[in-house]
Amino acid sequence: MGYSDHRFDVNLSILFTELPLLERPAAAAAAGFTAVELWWPWIETPTPDQSELDALKKALDDAGTQLVGLNFYAGQLPGPDRGALSVPGEESDRFRANIEVAADFAASVGCKALNALYGNRVEGVDAQIQDTLALENLVLAARAADRVGAILLIEALNKPESPLYPLVSAPSAIEVVDKVNQATGLGNTKFLLDLYHLSMNGEDLDQVIDAYADKTGHVQIADNPGRGAPGTGDLGLEALLDRLKKAGYEGWVGLEYKPGERPSAEAFDWLDQSARAAK
């Protein structure tokens, strides 16, 4: 096997960011890709005007790109925040206000995966209070995702870069996945397996893949060190993706890496042109 055996999409919130949001789908298409994903693009608001949602849908449609992953509102990301759903008060309220907006937008563009970032620990707030709130909000998000035929994703980040984020190992994220599925009975909550984050945590990636491939709904990659394109570090991403496929994972692989000093369009030389369009 090799890279050509996988289905790749480009994360337009980390690649092509030198361009305005509405120009990025066409740029990804020009580089040969037909599938893309996004963090919540409107970091200031969970409820943008319908005209802004319509404009993004048009940009995706005009470029011929399929949106395959979308984050719910996650606060200032990029920035200091790592999600909103476990943060009591205004941020939790914003997440709730976003749930149906994000789900309806996903439905409008045929996106089948919604990622809910957990949120940082808040100083002076009992962790149990945050976790109870998180489960309530994740149940609402899972039901909204189910309504539009989508899965809900729970992501583990890495402790060095996200020291206040509680889900910084595959088992900690899987525990939340299981709790949400148990609470809803829907079975549509899955693990977002990000090989970069897990490697930064020092986890045994082969072991994680073997243990959790069946609970994985989406995969993201970047090399380590540096969070650059495959081949810029020493992660052995090709072998890891092949292991995932052999373990039964057939889903998308999101390219969530930094292009470095060069324009994003030049950051895909590791992937043959013929392997970029979604199969």
256 is catalytic: yes
Catalytic residue (one of 37, 91, 203, 256):
256
Give residue 164's region: left, alpha or beta (phi > 0; psi -120 to 50).
Answer: alpha
The residue to which tokens 């324009």 are assigned: 263
CA distance 255 to 113: 15
CA distance 74 to 91: 9
CA distance 153 to 177: 8
203 is catalytic: no
The DSSP string of the chain is --GGGSEEEEETTTSSTTS-GGGHHHHHHHTT--EEEES-S-TT-SS--HHHHHHHHHHHHHHT-EEEEEEPP-SSTTTT--BSTTSTTHHHHHHHHHHHHHHHHHHHHT--EEE--B----TTS-HHHHHHHHHHHHHHHHHHHHHTT-EEEEE---TTT-TT-S--SHHHHHHHHHHHHHHHS---EEEEEEHHHHHHTT--HHHHHHHHGGGEEEEEE--TTTS-STTSSS--HHHHHHHHHHTT--SEEEE----TTS-GGGTTTTS-GGGTS--
Catalytic residue (one of 37, 91, 155, 203):
155
Q: Which of 63, 26, 5 is nearest to 264 (CA)?
A: 26
User: Which residues are known catalytic residues?
Assistant: 155, 256
